[in-house]
Amino acid sequence: MADFIPGAMSFFFADDLAAVLAGQIGLKFTQQCVDLERRLQMFFEQLEFYSILAVQPINYSKTQIMFTARAICYPNPMPQVKCGDNVIEWTSSFKYLGYWLTTKLGWGNVIGKTRVKVRQKTALVNSFRVNGTSSTNLRRTLFSVFVLPYFTWLFGLYPLFTETQRTDLNHLYFTLLKRIFWCQCWDDFVFSYIYNEKSLDDLCFGYWGKYAKALSKTRDGFLLVEQSELNAHRSAWQSGAQRIRCLYRSKRFVSHSDVLGQVFNWMATQGSSDSVVAHKEEDILSLLCFQKVLHKEFGA
């Protein structure tokens, strides 16, 4: 596909296509908008030509364009782009391979939509009955089938979230599990110990551990490690820890931290042990009794 669409960086998976067109540097904003409209029209002409040769028709109803820039305002009016006789719609967000991409930076939109989905699915799991009855094992199995995959889908981005976002997702995961087990009165720590349920951090750590083990045996993994080392040398040079002759630093350089490095740093902070601590049963029972006493005395 790159031979047919040379002016864009394309990502093709199954029947889903996403293409990125970068603006030019050193031009005024209005000139960039005019140039972008021209290149967009050329891109759709190339895409139509490719779809005819590959016998893969374009789904015009799902084809959308998203504009993002550092500029405060957007072009007014937005450029009118056509693909054949169909006008392509401009949008501020779209879904690609299960992830929502927006004009704003951050993961709040993806996390928010995941929250809504898992809460709806958990309510459906709790309402499920077989011959008018339900059981904990049945609800736990349905939770693993219909709710847990939405959390698993976030594991690829989970180490990139902020500490607050990860804490909130952990609490949400335990809250939904407690609804499944019908024991919402317990704390997350007590619940994870009694039912031996791993936290979302532990599940994500296991996921990335298996991925890193599989990646170490491939050529792609070797190339990623090499790229991470180059990024480490670049960061050391940019911070002034290392010097390279005849090469000067510029204050306009943007600091960069590779994604794989961020993931491994997060894994290093987690450690290799589970968050479910092996306490004695007597200590847990004493803690539960102490909570009940506080609840009666203070009415909390």
pLDDT surpasses 70 at 279: no
What's the pLDDT at 151? 94
- Kindly list the distances between the CA atom of residue 143 and the CA atoms of 131, 214, 257, in Å, as whole numbers in the listed order: 19, 28, 36
What's the pLDDT at 294? 45
pLDDT surpasses 90 at 122: yes
Q: What is the mean pLDDT of the chain?
A: 80
Q: For strand 9-13 and strand 16-20, is the pairing parallel, antiparallel, or unpaired?
A: antiparallel
pLDDT (tens digit per residue) in 214-236? 888 888 878 877 877 777 777 77
pLDDT (tens digit per residue) in 173-229? 999 999 999 888 888 888 888 888 899 999 999 999 898 888 888 888 788 778 777
What's the pLDDT at 142? 94
What's the pLDDT at 252? 59
> Mean pLDDT, to the nearest integer, of 57-63?
84
Q: Predicted confidence band at 44 (pLDDT cuts at 50, 70, 90)?
A: confident
What's the pLDDT at 287? 62
pLDDT surpasses 80 at 125: yes
pLDDT surpasses 80 at 241: no
What's the pLDDT at 281? 63
98: its two tokens = 């299960």
> Mean pLDDT, to the nearest integer, of 245-266?
71
Task: Quote the radius of gyration of the chain (alpha carbons, Å).
Answer: 26
Please calculate the CA angle 143-147-149 and round it to the nearest 5 degrees: 115
CA–CA separation, 197 vs 148, rounded Å?
Answer: 13
The 3-class SS string of 39-51 reads: HHHHHHHHHHHHH
What's the pLDDT at 293? 47
Instruction: Indicate yes or no: pTM above 0.85.
Output: no
CB 64 within 8 A of CB 88: yes
273: its two tokens = 């042990």
Domain range list for the chain: 9-102, 208-270
> Mean pLDDT, to the nearest integer, of 55-77?
80
Q: Predicted confidence band at 147 (pLDDT cuts at 50, 70, 90)?
A: very high
CA–CA separation, 177 vs 184, rounded Å?
Answer: 9
CA dihedral (79, 96, 212, 209) positive or negative: positive
What's the pLDDT at 300? 45
